[in-house]
Amino acid sequence: MKRNVVIIGGSAAGITAALTARRHYPDAKITLIRKEEKVPIPCGIPYIFGTLGSPEKNLMPEDPLIKNDIELIIDEVVSIDRSSKAVKTKGGREIGYDKLILATGSVPIVPPIPGVELGNVFTIKKDVNYLARILEALGEARDVVIIGGGFIGMEIADECCKRGNLNVTVVEMLPHCLALVFEDELCVAAEEELSKRGARIRTGEKAKAIVGDGKVEYVELESGEKIKADVVILAIGVRPNAQLAKEAGLELGPLGGVAVDRYMRTTDPDIFAVGDCAEKFDFFTGKPSPLRLASIATAEARIAGANLFELRRENKGVVGVFSTKIGDVALGLAGIDERRAREAGIDFVVGVSESVDRHPGGMPGATPTKVKLVFRRYSGAIIGGCVRGGEGAGEMVNLISAMIQSGMHADQIALFQMGTHPALTASPVAYQIVNAAEIALSQMR
């Protein structure tokens, strides 16, 4: 008898869950239901407004679904009947399931600021037509204000600067942009680079009101400053889209996501939840985590897809791996930095190493790259690391994350055998991760 798997949601988590389920259960009937005809690649959305120039150049591919015999239904699920194990859609369908995966994602947070309903005030939605309207508005704009200096806000600001004809202002209520993730050194590096590209950055400022007659004309800050605006983009963050799960009687977690166990099962053992709609817990502390990243979503999807009819994989929690590029500077963090370690009361040591990412330093494209690693003082276990440098910083952060998840110690990292090449990496003598571990070891002794 064929086993029926239904997945609700067609972004990164939903597609990955479907493909994983197919690999682990080749005889299952797998159906993916999403309400959108086209789905944007989440992390690529900022680049629509500059580098890519169109939402059509940033779409999730459908070929993998077709090649893996996964049925795609364009419709909206409006209810889940757990007793009969069926979902009902807006289009009148009723689709039965043996196992159900919720991958309903998240929705943008809209702050309670007067004027958010005005014309040309946008959030960042995973909706191709909506994103096209933002792009159209930017094409007619001169002054753009971005409220929120997190990753999305900063990357959109950078892309708007690339257009060359926009006055761009970022308003962030915290002392620094990116301060929820990075320590001050990396935050300042990002701000300085964006400022070089022509953007104004107003940190420690809160938007009081968005003002205009039908359409936005300016943003008023609590300090009294008024910033002219033809377009306002709200990049405050997201919250779990868990309404469908709540209406089905599934339990929600303390941060509003669908409660799941380490196998990604909800309080109904035949229903799983993955991605932004699901509750998260921290890799280090086990406490609830607010992080919402596509990399986390796809990891959870690979766990759920494998566990549908047999428990095979377990979630170890959210490490927190971030990277971004502002101008020519790439920045990244994996795990716990100095600030968070200090706040958590962890006794730690830090190793710092800086060198160019090519060898010799005269090689074309050579960029100074700084690595900082954080270790527990007595065990020597790595708990975090950050990187500032060129384009290789993103994969270097991924390497640090792998070391954290593997429980590596400073001495093991100091003896790490890496592959090096003059055009691709730092010299083996100056390889930053290894040297940072050696420097940290000297403090432990």
DSSP string, 172-219: ESSSSTTTTTS-HHHHHHHHHHHHHTT-EEEET--EEEEEESSBEEEE
Low-confidence ranges of the chain (pLDDT < 50): none
As separate numbers, helices (DSSP H) first and strands (DSSP E) second, the chain gives: 11, 25
- CA 208, distance to chain mean position in Å, is 28
Round to whole Å and give the CA distance between 331 and 182: 9
Predicted local distance difference test score (pLDDT) of residue 1:
58
The side-by-side arrangement of strands in the sheet containing 167-172 is 121-122, 231-234, 143-147, 167-172, 200-203
Round to whole Å and give the CA distance between 262 and 425: 37
Q: Are 150 and 108 in contact (CB under 8 A)?
A: no
Distances (CA, A) of 436 to 164, 425, 444: 39, 16, 13
Domain with CATH 3.50.50.60 in the chain: 4-35+75-107+239-307, 121-236
DSSP H helical ranges for 29-166: 63-67, 128-139, 151-162
Cβ neighbors of 58 (< 8 A, separation 6 or more) are 40, 41, 44, 45, 47, 48, 52
> Residue 141 corresponds to which amino acid?
A
Round to whole Å and give the CA distance between 21 and 3: 11
Paired sense of beta strands 143-147 and 231-234, if any: parallel
Round to whole Å and give the CA distance between 103 and 294: 12
Q: How many residues in total does the chain contain?
A: 445
- Specify the fold of 329-444: Enolase-like; domain 1 (3.30.390)
Which residue reads 């979503």 in tokens? 297
Segment 407-412 long-range contacts (CB within 8 Å, at least 24 positions apart) = 407/381, 408/381, 408/382, 409/375, 409/379, 409/380, 409/381, 409/382, 410/351, 410/373, 410/375, 410/380, 410/382, 410/437, 410/438, 410/440, 410/441, 410/444, 411/380, 411/437, 411/441
Q: In which element (H, E) is residue 393 found?
A: helix 393-405
Paired sense of beta strands 200-203 and 167-172, if any: parallel
Q: Which of 104, 100, 73, 106 is nearest to 87 (CA)?
A: 100
CATH: 3.50.50.60, 3.40.190.10, 3.40.50.720, 1.10.3720.10. Which one for 4-35+75-107+239-307?
A: 3.50.50.60
CA atoms lying within 13 Å on the CB side of residue 45 = 23
Q: Are 427 and 355 in contact (CB under 8 A)?
A: yes
Strand partners, 59: 40
Round to whole Å and give the CA distance between 7 and 14: 6
CA atoms lying within 13 Å on the CB side of residue 259 = 11
Copy the structure tokens of residue 406.
């593997």
Domain with CATH 3.30.390.30 in the chain: 329-444
Does the domain at residues 121-236 carry the CATH identifier 1.10.3720.10?
Answer: no
Q: Which of 149, 168, 132, 163 is nearest to 45 (CA)?
A: 132
